[in-house]
């Protein structure tokens, strides 16, 4: 089945460590996204990428980095510069339909806890 | 992108229709209305989208007012499994950017 796979589902990190969250899609979607969600809050956009080798900052990019070397993959690195990294991280992808609509498909999420 | 306003929470009795409103008074002519929902600790799930006309699929119906300044998502026969946070989003169908912004949504609780 086509979909988005995020790993790991749960991750624990010590302060000062970088950690990379994986996001892989087999939907042949061009665009991919990373969102962060804090308890009881909505989704906030970290980074997004429209095509391979290109990505743009979202609203809360500080302390995060991404790469888009392959169409299928959009890993997110949470660096030690991110002050409050404990959160639920969601990856999504999309393709523009013939109608012009742009529907997102989400992964199951990765929950990062900093100890 | 146009901003949306949704009530923070709503209750609905099981088996009854759930009507979730969304105000998007600054919507532009080239912006779609999208609805997603997020069940606790899962990734959001696409429900439906529309531009001008009312839309219906197997999950829900979307009613957009004639002036497009507001819309209502209707779950015709709510079940306990419909308890979730529902997000209303507007964004252009032609755009140089794929930026996709979510608000805080409406927390729907379906009561037995």
Residues A96-114 have pLDDT tens digits of 777 778 889 999 999 999 9
pLDDT the model gives residue B108:
98
Question: Can you read off the two tokens belonging to residue B62?
Answer: 């979307």
pLDDT(A88) > 80: yes
pLDDT the model gives residue B103:
82
Which of A56, A104, A108 faces B46 most closely, judged by CB atoms? A104
Task: Give the mean pLDDT of A56-69.
Answer: 95
Chain B residues with CB-CB distance to A106 below 8 A: 43-45
Walking along chain B (112 residues) 10 residues at a time, the average pLDDT comes out as 86 97 89 93 93 94 96 97 95 64 90 96
pLDDT the model gives residue A52:
94
3-state per-residue secondary structure call for B58-91 = CCCEEEECCCCCEEEEEECCCCHHHCEEEEEEEE
| Chain A closest-CA separation from residue B7 CA (Å) | 13
Tell whether A50 is within 8 A of chain B (Cβ): yes
3-state secondary structure of A95: strand
Are A102 and B100 an interchain contact pair (Cβ–Cβ within 8 Å)? yes
pLDDT the model gives residue A86:
95
pLDDT the model gives residue A22:
98
Model pLDDT for residues A7-47, shown as the tens digit of each residue: 999 999 998 899 999 999 999 999 999 999 998 888 999 99
Which of A31, A44, A109 faces B98 most closely, judged by CB atoms? A31
* CB neighbour list of residue A63: distance below 8 Å, 6 or more residues apart: A78, A79, A81, A82, A83, A85
Chain A residues with CB-CB distance to B34 below 8 A: 101, 103
């Amino acid at each position: 089945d086509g979909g988005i796979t995020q790993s790991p589902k749960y991750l624990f990190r010590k302060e000062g460590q970088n950690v990379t969250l994986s996001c892989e899609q087999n939907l042949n979607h061009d665009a991919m996204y990373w969102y962060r969600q804090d308890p009881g809050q909505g989704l906030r956009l970290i980074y997004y990428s429209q095509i391979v080798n290109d990505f743009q900052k979202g609203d809360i990019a500080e302390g995060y980095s991404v790469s888009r070397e392959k169409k299928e993959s959009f890993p997110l690195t949470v660096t030690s510069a991110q002050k409050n990294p404990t959160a639920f991280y969601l990856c999504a992808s999309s393709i523009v339909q013939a109608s012009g609509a742009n529907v997102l498909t989400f992964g199951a999420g990765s929950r990062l806890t900093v100890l | 992108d146009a901003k949306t306003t949704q009530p923070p929470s709503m209750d609905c009795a099981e088996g009854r229709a759930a009507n979730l409103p969304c105000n998007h008074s600054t919507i532009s002519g080239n912006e779609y209305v999208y609805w997603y929902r997020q069940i606790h600790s899962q990734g959001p799930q696409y429900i439906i989208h529309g531009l001008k006309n009312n839309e219906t699929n197997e999950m829900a119906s979307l009613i957009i007012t004639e002036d497009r300044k507001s819309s209502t998502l209707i779950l015709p026969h709510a079940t306990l499994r419909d308890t979730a946070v529902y997000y209303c989003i507007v964004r252009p169908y032609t755009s140089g950017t794929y930026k996709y912004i979510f608000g805080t949504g409406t927390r729907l609780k379906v009561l037995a």
